Amino acid sequence: MPQAQIIDGKAIAESVRQEITNRAAKLLETSGKRPGLAVVLVGEDPASQVYVRNKDRAAEACGFHSVKHTLGAETSEADVLALVEQLNNDPEIHGILVQLPLPGHIDESKVLRLIRPEKDVDGFHPVNVGLLTAGERDSALVPCTPAGSLVLLKRTLGDTLSGKNAVVIGRSNIVGKPMASLLLQESCTVTIAHSRTRDLPDVVRAADIVVAAVGRPEMIKGDWIKPGATVIDVGINRIPAPELGEGKNRLVGDVAFNEAVDHAGAITPVPGGVGPMTIAMLMVNTLTAARRLLGLPDEEPLF
Ligand SMILES: NC(=O)C1=CN([C@@H]2O[C@H](COP(=O)(O)OP(=O)(O)OC[C@H]3O[C@@H](n4cnc5c(N)ncnc54)[C@H](OP(=O)(O)O)[C@@H]3O)[C@@H](O)[C@H]2O)C=CC1
Ligand SMILES: Nc1nc(=O)c2c([nH]1)NC[C@@H]1CN(c3ccc(C(=O)N[C@@H](CCC(=O)O)C(=O)O)cc3)C=[N+]21
Protein backbone atom coordinates (compact mmCIF):
# COMPACT_ATOMS: atom_id res chain seq x y z
CA MET A 1 0.00 0.00 0.00
CA PRO A 2 1.67 3.29 -1.07
CA GLN A 3 1.78 5.99 1.63
CA ALA A 4 -1.26 8.25 1.78
CA GLN A 5 -1.43 11.53 -0.15
CA ILE A 6 -1.06 14.36 2.37
CA ILE A 7 -3.92 16.82 1.84
CA ASP A 8 -2.33 20.28 1.99
CA GLY A 9 -4.95 22.31 3.86
CA LYS A 10 -2.56 25.23 4.20
CA ALA A 11 -2.10 25.58 0.42
CA ILE A 12 -5.80 25.04 -0.35
CA ALA A 13 -6.77 27.58 2.34
CA GLU A 14 -4.34 30.07 0.79
CA SER A 15 -5.96 29.62 -2.65
CA VAL A 16 -9.42 30.18 -1.14
CA ARG A 17 -8.25 33.31 0.69
CA GLN A 18 -6.70 34.63 -2.54
CA GLU A 19 -10.02 34.16 -4.36
CA ILE A 20 -11.85 35.96 -1.54
CA THR A 21 -9.33 38.80 -1.62
CA ASN A 22 -9.98 39.23 -5.34
CA ARG A 23 -13.76 39.16 -4.87
CA ALA A 24 -13.58 41.65 -1.96
CA ALA A 25 -11.48 44.01 -4.07
CA LYS A 26 -14.15 43.89 -6.81
CA LEU A 27 -16.88 44.55 -4.22
CA LEU A 28 -14.93 47.57 -2.96
CA GLU A 29 -14.58 48.83 -6.53
CA THR A 30 -18.27 48.44 -7.41
CA SER A 31 -19.90 49.31 -4.06
CA GLY A 32 -17.24 51.20 -2.11
CA LYS A 33 -17.85 48.74 0.73
CA ARG A 34 -15.53 46.36 2.58
CA PRO A 35 -16.90 43.22 4.31
CA GLY A 36 -16.83 43.92 8.06
CA LEU A 37 -15.99 41.10 10.54
CA ALA A 38 -16.30 41.49 14.32
CA VAL A 39 -14.75 38.79 16.52
CA VAL A 40 -15.62 38.76 20.24
CA LEU A 41 -13.26 37.01 22.68
CA VAL A 42 -14.30 36.72 26.34
CA GLY A 43 -11.55 35.57 28.73
CA GLU A 44 -7.90 34.65 28.32
CA ASP A 45 -7.97 31.07 26.92
CA PRO A 46 -4.58 30.84 25.11
CA ALA A 47 -5.80 28.64 22.22
CA SER A 48 -8.75 30.99 21.62
CA GLN A 49 -6.32 33.92 21.58
CA VAL A 50 -4.31 32.18 18.81
CA TYR A 51 -7.43 31.45 16.75
CA VAL A 52 -8.85 34.96 17.19
CA ARG A 53 -5.51 36.45 16.17
CA ASN A 54 -5.42 34.19 13.06
CA LYS A 55 -8.95 35.27 12.13
CA ASP A 56 -8.21 38.95 12.58
CA ARG A 57 -5.02 38.71 10.50
CA ALA A 58 -6.76 36.75 7.73
CA ALA A 59 -9.57 39.32 7.54
CA GLU A 60 -7.06 42.18 7.29
CA ALA A 61 -5.13 40.26 4.59
CA CYS A 62 -8.35 39.80 2.59
CA GLY A 63 -8.91 43.57 2.68
CA PHE A 64 -11.83 43.32 5.12
CA HIS A 65 -12.73 45.79 7.87
CA SER A 66 -11.86 43.70 10.94
CA VAL A 67 -12.72 44.49 14.57
CA LYS A 68 -11.64 42.46 17.62
CA HIS A 69 -13.48 42.87 20.93
CA THR A 70 -11.52 41.36 23.85
CA LEU A 71 -13.49 41.21 27.10
CA GLY A 72 -12.32 40.03 30.54
CA ALA A 73 -13.30 36.58 31.84
CA GLU A 74 -15.52 38.20 34.49
CA THR A 75 -17.60 40.15 31.92
CA SER A 76 -21.31 39.75 32.67
CA GLU A 77 -23.67 37.89 30.33
CA ALA A 78 -25.67 41.12 30.00
CA ASP A 79 -22.60 43.01 28.77
CA VAL A 80 -21.82 40.33 26.16
CA LEU A 81 -25.43 40.39 24.97
CA ALA A 82 -25.34 44.19 24.77
CA LEU A 83 -22.19 44.06 22.63
CA VAL A 84 -23.80 41.51 20.28
CA GLU A 85 -26.86 43.75 19.97
CA GLN A 86 -24.64 46.72 19.15
CA LEU A 87 -22.85 44.67 16.45
CA ASN A 88 -26.19 43.43 15.07
CA ASN A 89 -27.09 47.05 14.42
CA ASP A 90 -23.70 48.24 13.16
CA PRO A 91 -24.01 48.80 9.37
CA GLU A 92 -20.23 48.44 8.95
CA ILE A 93 -20.31 44.92 10.45
CA HIS A 94 -21.58 42.05 8.25
CA GLY A 95 -20.20 39.07 10.22
CA ILE A 96 -20.21 38.45 13.98
CA LEU A 97 -18.27 35.61 15.64
CA VAL A 98 -18.32 35.04 19.39
CA GLN A 99 -15.35 32.75 20.12
CA LEU A 100 -16.28 29.57 22.02
CA PRO A 101 -16.06 28.39 24.72
CA LEU A 102 -17.45 31.28 26.76
CA PRO A 103 -16.84 31.49 30.55
CA GLY A 104 -19.17 29.19 32.50
CA HIS A 105 -21.40 31.96 33.88
CA ILE A 106 -22.50 32.98 30.37
CA ASP A 107 -25.25 31.03 28.57
CA GLU A 108 -23.65 30.22 25.18
CA SER A 109 -26.89 29.43 23.37
CA LYS A 110 -28.47 32.68 24.59
CA VAL A 111 -25.54 34.63 23.12
CA LEU A 112 -25.46 32.66 19.86
CA ARG A 113 -29.24 33.01 19.36
CA LEU A 114 -28.99 36.79 19.72
CA ILE A 115 -26.67 37.12 16.71
CA ARG A 116 -28.67 38.17 13.65
CA PRO A 117 -28.85 35.02 11.44
CA GLU A 118 -27.71 37.10 8.45
CA LYS A 119 -24.51 38.03 10.37
CA ASP A 120 -23.97 34.56 11.92
CA VAL A 121 -20.76 33.69 10.05
CA ASP A 122 -20.21 30.66 12.33
CA GLY A 123 -23.49 29.19 11.08
CA PHE A 124 -24.42 28.16 14.63
CA HIS A 125 -27.76 30.07 14.84
CA PRO A 126 -30.83 27.76 14.76
CA VAL A 127 -32.05 29.52 11.59
CA ASN A 128 -28.82 28.61 9.78
CA VAL A 129 -28.79 25.10 11.30
CA GLY A 130 -32.38 24.65 10.11
CA LEU A 131 -31.65 25.89 6.59
CA LEU A 132 -28.59 23.62 6.31
CA THR A 133 -30.48 20.58 7.66
CA ALA A 134 -33.39 21.28 5.31
CA GLY A 135 -30.96 21.18 2.39
CA GLU A 136 -31.21 24.92 1.71
CA ARG A 137 -27.45 25.25 1.93
CA ASP A 138 -27.35 28.08 -0.58
CA SER A 139 -29.38 30.41 1.66
CA ALA A 140 -27.71 29.35 4.93
CA LEU A 141 -24.38 30.32 6.41
CA VAL A 142 -22.53 27.00 6.84
CA PRO A 143 -20.22 26.33 9.85
CA CYS A 144 -16.63 26.96 8.82
CA THR A 145 -14.92 23.73 9.91
CA PRO A 146 -17.39 21.36 8.22
CA ALA A 147 -17.45 23.58 5.11
CA GLY A 148 -13.65 23.62 5.03
CA SER A 149 -13.53 19.84 5.47
CA LEU A 150 -15.91 19.43 2.52
CA VAL A 151 -13.69 21.63 0.33
CA LEU A 152 -10.71 19.40 1.22
CA LEU A 153 -12.74 16.28 0.37
CA LYS A 154 -13.86 17.69 -2.98
CA ARG A 155 -10.37 18.88 -3.91
CA THR A 156 -9.12 15.34 -3.10
CA LEU A 157 -11.93 13.17 -4.45
CA GLY A 158 -13.54 15.44 -7.03
CA ASP A 159 -17.30 15.02 -7.43
CA THR A 160 -17.25 11.31 -6.56
CA LEU A 161 -18.66 11.51 -3.03
CA SER A 162 -22.11 10.17 -4.00
CA GLY A 163 -22.73 6.68 -2.63
CA LYS A 164 -19.53 6.60 -0.54
CA ASN A 165 -19.71 5.41 3.09
CA ALA A 166 -18.81 8.30 5.38
CA VAL A 167 -18.23 8.00 9.14
CA VAL A 168 -18.22 11.18 11.22
CA ILE A 169 -16.78 10.56 14.69
CA GLY A 170 -18.22 13.20 17.01
CA ARG A 171 -21.66 14.83 17.09
CA SER A 172 -21.01 18.38 18.28
CA ASN A 173 -23.11 21.27 17.03
CA ILE A 174 -20.05 23.03 15.61
CA VAL A 175 -18.48 20.11 13.72
CA GLY A 176 -20.01 16.62 13.82
CA LYS A 177 -23.65 17.35 13.15
CA PRO A 178 -23.22 19.97 10.37
CA MET A 179 -20.49 17.78 8.82
CA ALA A 180 -22.96 14.87 8.67
CA SER A 181 -25.56 17.20 7.08
CA LEU A 182 -23.15 18.29 4.37
CA LEU A 183 -22.05 14.71 3.60
CA LEU A 184 -25.69 13.56 3.44
CA GLN A 185 -26.38 16.32 0.91
CA GLU A 186 -23.46 14.98 -1.12
CA SER A 187 -25.38 11.65 -1.08
CA CYS A 188 -22.87 9.85 1.10
CA THR A 189 -24.22 7.10 3.34
CA VAL A 190 -23.47 8.78 6.66
CA THR A 191 -22.81 7.20 10.06
CA ILE A 192 -22.40 9.51 13.08
CA ALA A 193 -20.32 7.87 15.81
CA HIS A 194 -20.00 9.15 19.37
CA SER A 195 -18.96 8.02 22.86
CA ARG A 196 -21.79 5.47 23.07
CA THR A 197 -21.03 3.84 19.69
CA ARG A 198 -20.19 0.14 20.05
CA ASP A 199 -17.37 -1.52 18.07
CA LEU A 200 -16.11 1.83 16.83
CA PRO A 201 -13.04 0.34 15.06
CA ASP A 202 -15.29 -1.87 12.90
CA VAL A 203 -17.63 1.05 12.19
CA VAL A 204 -14.65 3.11 10.99
CA ARG A 205 -13.29 0.20 8.93
CA ALA A 206 -16.42 0.36 6.73
CA ALA A 207 -15.78 4.00 5.82
CA ASP A 208 -14.48 5.33 2.51
CA ILE A 209 -14.42 8.77 4.19
CA VAL A 210 -13.55 9.32 7.87
CA VAL A 211 -14.03 12.69 9.58
CA ALA A 212 -12.60 12.68 13.11
CA ALA A 213 -13.85 15.41 15.47
CA VAL A 214 -13.45 13.94 18.93
CA GLY A 215 -10.82 15.89 20.81
CA ARG A 216 -8.81 12.82 21.94
CA PRO A 217 -5.20 12.73 20.76
CA GLU A 218 -4.40 9.96 18.25
CA MET A 219 -7.44 7.93 19.25
CA ILE A 220 -8.21 6.62 15.77
CA LYS A 221 -5.57 3.95 15.02
CA GLY A 222 -4.06 3.12 11.64
CA ASP A 223 -5.62 -0.34 11.43
CA TRP A 224 -9.11 1.19 11.86
CA ILE A 225 -8.69 2.82 8.43
CA LYS A 226 -10.00 0.96 5.38
CA PRO A 227 -7.16 0.73 2.84
CA GLY A 228 -7.33 3.73 0.52
CA ALA A 229 -9.91 5.66 2.60
CA THR A 230 -9.81 9.47 2.83
CA VAL A 231 -9.23 10.77 6.36
CA ILE A 232 -10.11 14.31 7.50
CA ASP A 233 -8.67 14.95 10.96
CA VAL A 234 -10.42 17.87 12.64
CA GLY A 235 -8.93 17.20 16.06
CA ILE A 236 -6.56 19.71 17.62
CA ASN A 237 -4.89 18.39 20.76
CA ARG A 238 -1.89 19.85 22.54
CA ILE A 239 0.26 17.07 24.02
CA PRO A 240 3.53 17.36 25.99
CA ALA A 241 6.57 17.32 23.69
CA PRO A 242 9.62 16.88 25.98
CA GLU A 243 11.73 16.28 22.86
CA LEU A 244 11.17 19.97 22.08
CA GLY A 245 12.35 21.00 25.52
CA GLU A 246 11.11 21.42 29.07
CA GLY A 247 7.37 22.21 29.27
CA LYS A 248 7.01 22.31 25.47
CA ASN A 249 3.93 20.85 23.80
CA ARG A 250 2.93 20.03 20.22
CA LEU A 251 -0.28 19.69 18.23
CA VAL A 252 -1.63 16.29 17.21
CA GLY A 253 -4.98 15.33 15.74
CA ASP A 254 -7.54 12.72 16.73
CA VAL A 255 -5.96 10.26 14.27
CA ALA A 256 -2.67 8.40 14.87
CA PHE A 257 -1.21 10.03 11.77
CA ASN A 258 2.06 8.02 11.56
CA GLU A 259 0.08 4.75 11.53
CA ALA A 260 -2.79 6.02 9.36
CA VAL A 261 -0.52 7.13 6.49
CA ASP A 262 0.19 3.43 5.81
CA HIS A 263 -3.52 2.67 5.37
CA ALA A 264 -5.28 5.80 4.08
CA GLY A 265 -5.41 6.92 0.44
CA ALA A 266 -5.32 10.57 1.58
CA ILE A 267 -5.13 12.26 4.98
CA THR A 268 -4.99 15.78 6.44
CA PRO A 269 -2.09 16.70 8.74
CA VAL A 270 -2.44 18.48 12.09
CA PRO A 271 -1.45 21.30 12.02
CA GLY A 272 -1.74 22.37 8.39
CA GLY A 273 -4.97 20.60 7.49
CA VAL A 274 -8.46 21.56 8.64
CA GLY A 275 -7.39 24.48 10.86
CA PRO A 276 -6.34 26.83 8.07
CA MET A 277 -9.49 25.86 6.16
CA THR A 278 -11.64 26.97 9.10
CA ILE A 279 -10.12 30.43 8.85
CA ALA A 280 -10.49 30.51 5.06
CA MET A 281 -14.18 29.53 5.21
CA LEU A 282 -14.80 32.26 7.78
CA MET A 283 -13.60 34.71 5.13
CA VAL A 284 -15.94 33.08 2.60
CA ASN A 285 -18.91 33.41 4.99
CA THR A 286 -18.10 37.01 5.84
CA LEU A 287 -18.00 38.03 2.17
CA THR A 288 -21.23 36.09 1.50
CA ALA A 289 -22.95 37.78 4.46
CA ALA A 290 -21.74 41.23 3.32
CA ARG A 291 -23.04 40.73 -0.25
CA ARG A 292 -26.43 39.52 1.00
CA LEU A 293 -26.74 42.45 3.44
CA LEU A 294 -25.83 44.82 0.58
CA GLY A 295 -28.61 43.23 -1.50
CA LEU A 296 -26.17 41.63 -3.97
CA PRO A 297 -26.57 38.11 -5.44
CA ASP A 298 -24.37 35.24 -4.19
CA GLU A 299 -21.29 34.50 -6.26
CA GLU A 300 -20.11 31.11 -7.59
CA PRO A 301 -19.82 28.87 -4.47
CA LEU A 302 -16.35 27.53 -3.66
CA PHE A 303 -17.71 24.04 -2.90
N1 LIG B 1 -9.61 22.56 13.14
C2 LIG B 1 -10.63 23.32 13.49
O3 LIG B 1 -10.91 24.33 12.89
C4 LIG B 1 -11.49 22.91 14.64
C5 LIG B 1 -11.06 21.88 15.44
N6 LIG B 1 -11.84 21.46 16.48
C7 LIG B 1 -11.33 20.32 17.24
O8 LIG B 1 -12.14 19.19 16.92
C9 LIG B 1 -12.25 18.36 18.06
C10 LIG B 1 -13.72 18.17 18.38
O11 LIG B 1 -14.26 19.41 18.77
P12 LIG B 1 -15.85 19.57 18.96
O13 LIG B 1 -16.53 19.21 17.70
O14 LIG B 1 -16.08 20.90 19.58
O15 LIG B 1 -16.14 18.35 19.94
P16 LIG B 1 -16.79 18.26 21.39
O17 LIG B 1 -15.69 18.24 22.39
O18 LIG B 1 -17.91 19.21 21.55
O19 LIG B 1 -17.40 16.78 21.29
C20 LIG B 1 -16.55 15.67 21.13
C21 LIG B 1 -17.36 14.60 20.42
O22 LIG B 1 -16.57 13.42 20.36
C23 LIG B 1 -17.30 12.34 20.90
N24 LIG B 1 -16.43 11.40 21.62
C25 LIG B 1 -15.74 11.64 22.75
N26 LIG B 1 -15.07 10.53 23.10
C27 LIG B 1 -15.35 9.58 22.18
C28 LIG B 1 -14.97 8.22 21.99
N29 LIG B 1 -14.16 7.61 22.85
N30 LIG B 1 -15.46 7.57 20.91
C31 LIG B 1 -16.28 8.18 20.03
N32 LIG B 1 -16.68 9.47 20.15
C33 LIG B 1 -16.21 10.15 21.22
C34 LIG B 1 -18.29 12.94 21.88
O35 LIG B 1 -19.36 12.02 22.04
P36 LIG B 1 -20.63 12.39 22.98
O37 LIG B 1 -21.45 13.33 22.15
O38 LIG B 1 -21.30 11.07 23.23
O39 LIG B 1 -20.07 13.03 24.22
C40 LIG B 1 -18.64 14.24 21.17
O41 LIG B 1 -19.69 14.05 20.27
C42 LIG B 1 -11.47 19.05 19.17
O43 LIG B 1 -10.16 18.54 19.19
C44 LIG B 1 -11.43 20.50 18.73
O45 LIG B 1 -10.28 21.17 19.20
C46 LIG B 1 -13.06 22.03 16.76
C47 LIG B 1 -13.52 23.08 15.98
C48 LIG B 1 -12.76 23.62 14.89
N1 LIG C 1 -17.31 30.67 17.59
C2 LIG C 1 -16.29 29.83 17.29
N3 LIG C 1 -16.03 29.53 16.00
C4 LIG C 1 -14.99 28.68 15.67
O5 LIG C 1 -14.76 28.39 14.47
C6 LIG C 1 -14.19 28.15 16.71
C7 LIG C 1 -14.51 28.45 18.02
N8 LIG C 1 -15.55 29.31 18.31
N9 LIG C 1 -13.81 27.91 19.05
C10 LIG C 1 -12.68 27.04 18.82
C11 LIG C 1 -12.70 26.37 17.47
C12 LIG C 1 -11.32 25.96 17.03
N13 LIG C 1 -11.10 26.72 15.82
C14 LIG C 1 -9.87 26.75 15.12
C15 LIG C 1 -9.58 27.79 14.26
C16 LIG C 1 -8.35 27.85 13.63
C17 LIG C 1 -7.40 26.87 13.87
C18 LIG C 1 -6.06 26.95 13.23
O19 LIG C 1 -5.71 27.99 12.66
N20 LIG C 1 -5.26 25.86 13.37
C21 LIG C 1 -3.90 25.79 12.82
C22 LIG C 1 -2.85 25.82 13.95
C23 LIG C 1 -3.06 27.00 14.86
C24 LIG C 1 -2.18 26.81 16.12
O25 LIG C 1 -0.97 27.07 15.97
O26 LIG C 1 -2.73 26.36 17.15
C27 LIG C 1 -3.70 24.43 12.12
O28 LIG C 1 -4.46 23.49 12.51
O29 LIG C 1 -2.85 24.36 11.23
C30 LIG C 1 -7.70 25.83 14.73
C31 LIG C 1 -8.95 25.77 15.36
C32 LIG C 1 -12.19 27.48 15.53
N33 LIG C 1 -13.11 27.35 16.46
- The domain that holds 38 is classified in CATH as 3.40.50.10860
Per DSSP, 173 falls in state: T
Q: Are 243 and 198 in contact (CB under 8 A)?
A: no
Q: Are 263 and 229 in contact (CB under 8 A)?
A: yes
Residues 175, 229 within the same domain: yes
pLDDT in tens, 168-224: 999 999 999 999 999 999 999 999 999 999 999 999 999 999 999 999 999 999 999
Q: Does position 1 have pLDDT exceeding 90, yes or no?
A: no
Q: Are 83 and 67 in contact (CB under 8 A)?
A: no
Residues 102, 162 within the same domain: no
Task: Give pLDDT, residue 302.
Answer: 79
DSSP string, 249-285: EEEE-SB-HHHHTTT-SEE--SSSSHHHHHHHHHHHH
Domain tally for the chain?
A: 2
Q: Does position 303 have pLDDT exceeding 80, yes or no?
A: no
Rounded-to-integer distance, Cα 183 and Cα 180, Å: 5
Q: Does position 160 have pLDDT exceeding 80, yes or no?
A: yes
Residues 170, 269 within the same domain: yes
* Main-chain phi, psi angles of 177, to 5 degrees: -65, -50
Which of 112, 233, 278 maximizes ligand 2 atoms within 8 Å of its Cβ, making it the mutation to test the pocket?
A: 278
ipTM score assigned to the predicted complex: 0.98
Q: Is 171 annotated as contributing to ligand binding? A: yes
Residues 197, 114 within the same domain: no
* 288, part of any domain: no
Rounded-to-integer distance, Cα 79 and Cα 154, Å: 42
Q: Is 123 annotated as contributing to ligand binding? A: no
Residues 158, 260 within the same domain: yes
Q: Which atom of ligand 1 is nearest to the CA of 148?
A: 3
Domain that holds residue 117: 31-121
Residues 45, 117 within the same domain: yes
Strand-pairing partners, residue 167, are 191, 210
* 184, part of any domain: yes
CATH number where 221 lies = 3.40.50.720
Task: Give pLDDT, residue 2.
Answer: 82
Residues 109, 150 within the same domain: no
Residues 166, 84 within the same domain: no
Q: Which atom of ligand 2 is nearest to the CA of 100?
A: 8
pLDDT in tens, 28-82: 999 999 999 999 999 999 999 999 999 999 999 999 999 999 999 999 999 999 9
Task: Give pLDDT, residue 124.
Answer: 97
- Cα of 1 vs centre of ligand 2, distance in Å, is 33
pLDDT in tens, 211-224: 999 999 999 999 99
Q: What percent of the chain has pLDDT over 90?
A: 95
Chain-centroid distance, C-alpha 226: 25
* 8, part of any domain: no
* 200, part of any domain: yes
Helix, strand, coil shares of the chain as percentages rounded to 5? Answer: 45, 15, 40
pTM for this one? Answer: 0.97
Which of 51, 252, 254 maximizes ligand 2 atoms within 8 Å of its Cβ, making it the mutation to test the pocket?
A: 51
Average pLDDT value for the chain? 97
Mean pLDDT of all residues in 251-264: 98
Residues 109, 172 within the same domain: no
Task: Give pLDDT, residue 107.
Answer: 98
Q: Which of 119, 120, 122, 226 is catalytic?
A: 122
Residues 67, 171 within the same domain: no
